[in-house]
Amino acid sequence: MNYLIAIPEIFILSMACIILLADAFFGRGRSGMAYGLSLVTLLLTLGFIVFFSPMITETAFHGLFVSDRLSELLKLFIVGVSFMVLVYSREYLAERNLFKGEFYVLVLLAVLGMMIMASAPNFLSMYLGLELLSLSQYAMVAMRRDSGVSAEAAMKFFVLGAIASGMLLYGMSLIYGVTGSLDLSTIHDVVAYSQPDKVVLVFALVFIVAGIAFKLGAAPFHMWAPDVYEGAPTAMTLFIGTAPKIAGFALAFRLLIDGLEGLVASWQQMLIILAVFSIGLGNVVAIAQTNIKRMLAYSGIAHMGYMVLGLIAGTADGYAASLFYTLVYAIMAAGAFGFILLHSRQGFESDQLDDMKGLARLNPWFGLVMLVLMFSMAGVPPFIGFWSKWFVLKEIIAAGYVWLAAIAVFFAIVGAFVYLRIIRLIYFDRAEEEVTAEASGELKLVLSLNGLVVLLLGIMPSFLLGVCLAVFH
């Protein structure tokens, strides 16, 4: 019972309960209290992750919790991106009467769920973390009670999410029936070295891959993403579109590689279908969107397709490429949504492409930040988005899937139009109404740092690349 390696999770759960009670008893008229406590909680959690990180892989709670290099890196980015989300969202929430303690409690519980998923070596703890994350997200989307669009988005998200969770759980139950264990390492050994019923295992694998694809928002299980991104308040969309993608990678890696690597030939074929559908549909359909949140939803679908390419490679370097891509995407997406929040104001969402017109003239610095983010998402060198695409394409070619890499490159060129169109709107079109962004200093500071991180990582990608490679070597 090594509780020390779970101190970050224990602390964030304790603080979520404290903030919930404090907001209930003392929160009236003091909405900033929950916000401040949440920021402090996330900062201290970052410190605990680093301080209590073991030098070797250790388990706790009788094998239901593991701390290793992968889990520590994932948790650092999950907590760091969530911190950015809270800073970006404060002013937006205050202007729309959503600046309430419930939002911050839900974010902390969702972060806890993602951290559990990152450290889950067992079906039970994996499903517990997944449901904690999912239920928190459903409630977030529905927080704007006076909006029919938000209620509709929350209902779609809930119904489709419940179906996906049921499929994932059914696949897990079949694997338990064949292998007799819920522990991923035991399942790995049984599948790799014994002679279990492969037909039942592949049948179960179909349900598990479907559940993973839904959580990642990969086609053809993407139906929820555009409607939820558009219908949810932008602050909630920002959260849904960033940190949970990192947890989605944890879900895919733990289940497919830690548990079912012996079925690699089967899940590779399934992931190839997901990758081709996601890259093609995401890049093409994004071109037709006029709402920037829907456009970023389809963009996210395409990016998850590229992330899956590294898993298809089936090598340690391929897994590192997928991890690198996921972390980079979360940083880029956070900045893109932060730019939308920067120009939102009371009664104005700034979520249409036409709302982007001429913003570089009004805010030259943040126009430059958005240019860096869009070029990076498009995969233009030397920005970090180029290196993430290059890494996964290199690994997929090394694995012998040259045709798949050719498809990915073709649709990357097609998808570049989406991001170049935003740059054109920002720099070359004139706004119908010139309004300078009156955002808080902390939002502007974090957004500036976000853009600079993307730029510096593109110039010097070796550090993050080296960290991701070290996780799997």
Query: Average pLDDT of 278-302?
Result: 93
Tens digits of residue pLDDT in 147-157: 888 899 999 99
Please state, for a pLDDT cut of 70, what percent of the chain lies above it: 96
Residue 192 has a pLDDT of 84
Distance from C-alpha of 260 to C-alpha of 257, rounded to nearest angstrom: 6
Comparing C-alpha atoms, which of 379, 375, 227 is closest to residue 297? 227
Identify the band that residue 435 occupies on the pLDDT scale cut at 50, 70 and 90. Answer: low
Residue 15: domain span: 3-472
- Taking 90 as the threshold, does the pLDDT of residue 346 lie above it? no
Nearest C-alpha neighbor of 113 from the set 94, 138, 88, 87: 138
pLDDT digits over 158-200, tens only? 999 999 999 999 999 999 999 999 999 999 999 888 877 788 9
Confidence of residue 358 (pLDDT cuts 50, 70, 90): confident
47-74 per-position pLDDT tens digit: 999 998 877 888 989 889 999 999 999 9
Instruction: List Cβ neighbours of 392 (8 Å cut-off, separation of 6 or more).
Output: 306, 307, 309, 310, 313, 318, 321, 322, 325, 408
As a whole number, mean pLDDT of residues 304-328 equals 94
Structure tokens at 119: 């450290």
463, 308 Cβ separation under 8 angstroms: no
Q: What is the pLDDT of residues 440-460, one digit of tens each?
A: 778 889 999 999 999 999 999
* H-helix segments, 5-147: 7-26, 31-51, 69-95, 101-118, 123-141
In order, the DSSP letters of 377-415 are: HHT-TTSHHHHHHHHHHHHHHHTT-HHHHHHHHHHHHHH
The dihedral built from the CA positions of residue 264, 254, 211 and 227, taken in this order, carries a sign that is negative
Number of structural domains the chain divides into: 1
Cα dihedral angle (160, 157, 370, 439), rounded to 10 degrees?
Answer: -170
pLDDT at 108: 96
Q: With contact defined as beta carbons under 8 Å apart, do 137 and 244 qualify?
A: yes
pLDDT band (50, 70, 90) for residue 433? low
Q: Residues of the chain with pLDDT > 90: what percent?
A: 70
pLDDT band at 4 (very low <50, low <70, confident <90, very high): confident
What pLDDT, in 10s, does the model give residues 230-258? 989 899 999 999 999 999 999 999 999 99
